[in-house]
Copies of this chain bind each other. A is one copy, B any other.
Amino acid sequence: MSYARVMPRSSTREATGRGRSAPEDGGATARRTHAGGRRAGQSGTRDAVLIAARQSFARQGYAGTTIRAIASTAGVDPALVLHFFGSKDALFATCLAFPQDVADTVPRILAGPARTVGERLTRFYFELWERPETGQPLRAMFRSVASNEDAARMAHEFIGSHLVARAAEASNYDRVDLRLTLAGGQLAGVMYARHIVAVAPLATMSLDDLVRHVAPSVQRYLTGTLP
C-alpha cells in the first residue's frame, strides 16, 4: 500500500478516460437502444467475485488481501476482477458499500417507543453481526477501518453526516450525536470482543443473553440524563 494510490477520490482512471471499462452497473442507467451484444450480469460471476472479496477483506484487511487470492477463491482469472471493478481500491469501496436499509432502520428504531429503544437497537445491531450475509460486510468494514486510514475516513463520514444526521431528524432526543456515538461505541466494542477477539464468555453466550446484558447500557445512553 504505497505504490497503489488509495481510494479513487476522483479517479485518475476516469479523469484521463482511457482506463478499462469497469461497467458502472448503476441499475438506473438510461439503458440506451443497445443494438445487440451479450447482456451484462447474467452469469453470477461478478457476485461470486464480490463475495470472495468481502470474505478476504473481512479476514485479512485491505493490505492483507490480494487480487489474486480473490480471483482464486472465486475461480476466475485475476484480470477479470479488475475487468469488473477497475481497481483494488474500487473493489474495496464496493465491498464497504453499506446496505441502505441499515441507514433506514436506525432512525425508525429511534422513532419508536422510548421505553424499549435500547433493547430494540441492541438486538437489531447484534443480529446484523450474527447473520452471515450482513455480518461479513460488517466484519470487513470493522477490520478495514482499523487498518486503513481511508476506510476510517469513509466510516467517519458515513456515520457522521449520514447515519447520525438522518437519525437526528427522525427522533426528538436532545444531543443525538452524543447519545448515538456513545451507544455505537458500546455496541461495536461488544461485537469486537465477541466476533474478532472471540473472548469467552462473550463469544460463546447466546445472543439473547448478550442483549439482556448490554441493552440497559444502551438504553441509558439514549434516554438517560446526561451529566
Residues of A participating in the B interface, judged by any CB pair closer than 8 Å: 1-2, 59-64, 66, 69, 142-143, 145-149, 152, 155-156, 159-160, 177-178, 181-182, 184-194, 196-202, 205, 209, 212-214, 216-217, 220-221, 226-227
A-B contact pairs, 18 of them (CB 8 A): A2-B69, A61-B147, A63-B147, A145-B197, A146-B146, A146-B196, A152-B198, A155-B199, A156-B199, A181-B201, A182-B202, A185-B194, A185-B202, A186-B186, A189-B190, A209-B227, A217-B217, A217-B220
Q: A61-B148, A189-B192, A217-B221 are in contact. List 11 more A-B contacts (CB 8 A).
A: A1-B64, A147-B147, A152-B196, A152-B197, A159-B197, A178-B202, A178-B205, A184-B189, A186-B190, A192-B192, A213-B221
Give how many copies assemble into the complex.
2
B146 and A198 contact, CB distance less than 8 A: no
**B-chain residues with CB within 8 Å of residue A209 when the two chains form the complex:** 227
Query: B143–A146 contact, CB under 8 A?
Result: yes
Cβ-defined contact, A200 with B160, below 8 A = yes
Please, which residues of chain B bring their CB within 8 A of the CB of A212? 227
Residues of B within 8 A of A190 (CB): 182, 185-186, 189
Task: Give every chain B residue within 8 A of A160 (Cβ-Cβ).
Answer: 199-200
Q: Across the two chains, which residue of chain B brings its CB closest to A215?
A: B227
User: In the bound complex, what is the Cα–Cα distance between A62 and B159 (angstroms)?
Assistant: 26
Nearest CB on B from A55, distance (A): 13
Given the complex of chains A and B, what is the CA–CA distance between A184 and B61 in angstroms?
Answer: 23
Q: Are B146 and A61 in contact (CB under 8 A)?
A: yes
CB distance from A83 to the nearest CB of B (A): 23
Tell me the complex Cα distance, A148–B61, Å: 8
A208 to B, closest residue via Cβ: B227
- The CA-CA distance from A145 to B149 in the complex, in Å, is 16
Q: Contacts A201-B178, A227-B213; is A60 near B1 (CB within 8 Å)?
A: yes
